[in-house]
Structure 1
Amino acid sequence: MVRVHAIIEINKENVLNTIAIEHPFVCFTLDWWPDSKVSFGNASWIGTGLNNLDLEHPKLIQAARTLASSHKHGLLRIGGTLQDSVIYDFKSSEKHCLPFPFQPDENSRSGFTQECFSAARRREINNFLEKSNLKFIFGLNALDGRYDDFRRAWNSEKTKALLEELKTTKMAKRLFGLELGNEIYGKNGQGVELSAQIAAGDFATLRKIMKTALSDDVKLLGYDTALDFNWLDDFFSNLTSLETKLDAFTWHQYPLGPGSDPLLAEKILNPRFFDKFSAHIDVLSEKQAFWKEHENLPLWMGETGGAYNSGRNEVTNRFVSSFWFLNLLGIFAEKKHKAFCRQTLIGGNYGLLQLKVNKIETNPDFWAAFLFGSFMKEHVIEIYCENKLFKSYATRQQRSITILIINFSEKKETEQISIEVFNAFAYRKTAIVTSEKLDSNTVFINGVKADLPKDSDEIPSIHDFVVYEKNRKTIELPAHSYGFFILHGFK
């Protein structure tokens, strides 16, 4: 057996960020795409779009409860490209009101027609949120009243009515925050040219509506688009003039590129691939300092599934996907972001869950999200590993330190890596995740197949997946695997 030796050093005093204090760091999304959405010849949204999904499916609720168990509540974002084509209905007693469903329309900015969203469906969503112990972020339609002329003012009347309904039905108790528009701002807006001045006015209007209709706990989030710093400078200047502030700055990015890329898996398995993207995040922190009154806004990765346009089948829903996912979770945690919203909980080929003929199954990234959310909390601290084949991240809790190590080394090069933790500690808890193949959708945690309990009323405990080890400073991590190591009695 060939071994590679590396030393990990932890600086517990150098705190880079704090996460998972007031809300979870790992959040997940539900999107609006209809059954007719086809990406690169693959129809991966059948039965999983927000208006089509069976929200009473026992396995869906069980999986959501499992993810939520890492915090006092889970966090679900409802939104996506088609949120700006949704019509809010308040009269129909049916689950689906007309027009339904979204129909392909090559002349529209989104590629689809509009769709109706009924009060009955909102009640079903609320029941799902309550059963799953989730709070939700809702993406509002920012194009209402100006689909054919983006110079017009936003028509906020239906948003007012919607928020009043949420308050009346007590669904507002589950409301964590509101977003306005999805990927419609700046040079990266999709088929929309909203000026920064108009957009700032819209957010100011929404803030006023929120003050009247909702409690002060509900957050205003934005801007939910890939970064355009020139536009953002103008936007925040206008917000200042309007005496309006956001509660968090959310942005979107799919750094792996399109899901059609046949070399996607090779990108994921390159430990240096995200180095350039990591520097891109640093630029955001530098730019934020010039936003004056907004310079201390919490930063969120508001949406990413790695590869855009539904991901790639047999890549972003397989074990290999966990390598980009965990790597980015660690990068964003180190770089002062307070949340990371994964596209999607279910839907597309990048879901944490997969619908297969009415059966919902966990994809490997479900377990990556569950373990990261359960273990990586509080103070994100500096960690250094000399070997570039591994990525390592660390957090410090009151009585322990948790290390995440991702082993990118290939089996043809090494069977196992031996890592020495430079710092002393008393004992550790370990969760090592492996799979028989990179393109498998089955994972093993400490050699045991990861699966949800057969009884949908039960959820797994994180303690079910760890083993306890005393007096072991050396970590043995198989090639193409990752592990969480919780060190107690750290010195």
Structure 2
Amino acid sequence: MSSYANSLRFAISRNFLNSHCENAALIKQEGKEDLFYGFELGNEVWGIKTGDAHFTPAQAAKDYALLRKELDEIFGEGKMKILTLSGNWEYVFMTEFIEKFSDWDGVAWHWYPLGAGRSDEVIPNVNDENFTLTEIRERLELVNLWQRQHGRDKELWMGETGGAFNSGQNTTTNRFMSHRWYLDQLGIFAQYRHDAYCRQTLIGGNYGLLQRSEKVNAINPDFWGTVLFNSLMGRYVHEVKHSGDEKLHIYAHKNDENQFVLLAINFNREKSVQIEAINGLADLHVVVWEMTSPDDQSSTVILNGNELPKANTVDITEMWEAKNLPVKIAAKSYAFIRVVLN
């Protein structure tokens, strides 16, 4: 029985690999390789915590080595990147795996920390300002520990998350309130040296950035948060300390124009909060993108007083409002704030 199980696993793994290589060859043949960043091998099949296959580090080393060989032959040596794991974070698995094979570029791990979409714990977790600072931070510290000890040259990716697994939770992960887990995690994952964060999904289920209903795609609120975070925050991440309300989470990046941009998320469900000074300066000019909604579980998003469309996109990066400090962040809302340099 054990021998049969091992043979079956090997056959499944070979099918994954053959499929990947056939797709890679087709991509090269069609001249589309510039559209692709890299390849993953399988989905949630490695280690003991994810799926049913539970392939070992030794098996992973063999398969990824063969994938590297095939990709180098198709695209040229080292031209196409390889992302590994593609499942729940496993420190022991990744440590054994990298000791056996290390010619790959990054770890794309998966996590749905809010729990099952049908769970009654999803909304309390979304609303809890301490959830990211405890549950999320502890896992990220383990990932960073592994990187420092074993993979300093490897990229870190959140390869798949939609907050709650099994297609999210309707009226939660596809409504305005979803920003409290999603943008908070974008901020803290950047702090913990992650190079990319992949949202599950663009279209589908109740955790997509777009909602498909009766063959019509509608824009979910997190779509707009994604656009602003990606467009405004910049690549250079800074540590933030503030002396205000603990229900206010603030993240700070610096963009290529040397401008500081803050993401401020107000978890307080009753009271607005004010940002009165930045770096000790209270007389700063800023531009603000304040995002609110008439109801926490509404799909309507209001940017600086303007309701955003649900059926088509607009360039919201130009819909800023110039202000002087202090800036008020309404209850259950968030804002991006860019410091204007004199």
Give TM-score, length-normalised by structure 1.
Answer: 0.64
Q: How many angstroms apart in 2 are the aligned matches of 1:263 and 1:286? A: 29
Classify the secondary structure of the residue corresponding to 1:460: coil
Q: Deviations over 1:299-321 (max 9, x none)?
A: 11111000111101111101111
2:133 partner letter: D
1:264 and 2:122 correspond: yes
Aligned partner of 1:339 among 187, 190, 196: 196
**Is the Cα–Cα contact under 8 Å of residues 163 and 181 in structure 2 kept in the other structure?**
yes
Q: How many angstroms apart in 1 are the aligned matches of 2:22 and 2:330? A: 55
Q: Which residue pairs with 1:222 in the alignment?
A: 84
Q: How many angstroms apart in 1 are the aligned matches of 2:10 and 2:311? A: 53
Q: Which residue pairs with 1:409 in the alignment?
A: 268
Q: Which structure 2 residues correspond to residues 44-443 of structure 1 after superposition, within 5 A?
A: 149-152=8-11, 154-155=14-15, 156-215=17-76, 216-239=78-101, 244-276=102-134, 277-291=136-150, 294-386=151-243, 387-397=245-255, 398-411=257-270, 414=271, 416-423=272-279, 424=281, 426-443=284-301
Shift of 1:333: 0.6
Which piece of structure 1 moves more, 356-365 or 151-160? 151-160
Q: How many angstroms apart in 2 are the aligned matches of 1:160 and 1:308? A: 29
Q: Deviations over 1:94-148 (max 9, x none)?
A: xxxxxxxxxxxxxxxxxxxxxxxxxxxxxxxxxxxxxxxxxxxxxxxxxxxx997
**Is the Cα–Cα contact under 8 Å of residues 256 and 264 in structure 1 kept in the other structure?**
yes
Shift of 1:453: 7.5
2:335 partner letter: G
Classify the secondary structure of the residue corresponding to 1:385: coil
Which piece of structure 1 moves more, 474-483 or 259-268? 259-268
2:191 partner letter: E
Q: How many angstroms apart in 1 are the aligned matches of 2:320 and 2:262? A: 14
Classify the secondary structure of the residue corresponding to 2:286: strand
Classify the secondary structure of the residue corresponding to 2:14: coil
Classify the secondary structure of the residue corresponding to 2:297: coil
**Is the Cα–Cα contact under 8 Å of residues 256 and 307 in structure 1 kept in the other structure?**
yes
Identity %: 31
Shift of 1:287: 2.0
Q: How many angstroms apart in 2 are the aligned matches of 1:479 and 1:353? A: 25
The RMSD of aligned alpha carbons is 1.9
Q: Deviations over 1:17-75 (max 9, x none)?
A: xxxxxxxxxxxxxxxxxxxxxxxxxxxxxxxxxxxxxxxxxxxxxxxxxxxxxxxxxxx
Kindly indicate whether structure 1 or structure 2 has the higher relative contact order, using CA contacts under 8 Å at least 6 residues apart.
1
Classify the secondary structure of the residue corresponding to 1:149: helix
**Is the Cα–Cα contact under 8 Å of residues 399 and 488 in structure 1 kept in the other structure?**
no
Q: Which structure dedicates a bigger proportion of its chain to helix? A: 2
**Is the Cα–Cα contact under 8 Å of residues 453 and 460 in structure 1 kept in the other structure?**
no
1:467 partner letter: E
Classify the secondary structure of the residue corresponding to 1:159: helix
- How has the CA–CA distance of structure 1 residues 232 and 477 changed in structure 2, closer, same or farther, with 3 Å as cutoff? same
Shift of 1:193: 2.3
**Is the Cα–Cα contact under 8 Å of residues 265 and 315 in structure 1 kept in the other structure?**
yes
2:237 partner letter: V
Give TM-score, length-normalised by structure 2.
Answer: 0.91
Classify the secondary structure of the residue corresponding to 2:328: strand
Q: Which residue pairs with 1:100 in the alignment?
A: none
Q: Deviations over 1:273-322 (max 9, x none)?
A: 1222212211111122332xx33211111110001111011111011111
Q: Which residue pairs with 1:461 in the alignment?
A: 315
Shift of 1:436: 0.6
Aligned residues: 330
Q: Which residue pairs with 1:488 in the alignment?
A: 340
**Is the Cα–Cα contact under 8 Å of residues 220 and 310 in structure 2 kept in the other structure?**
no
Q: How many angstroms apart in 1 are the aligned matches of 2:95 and 2:298? A: 45
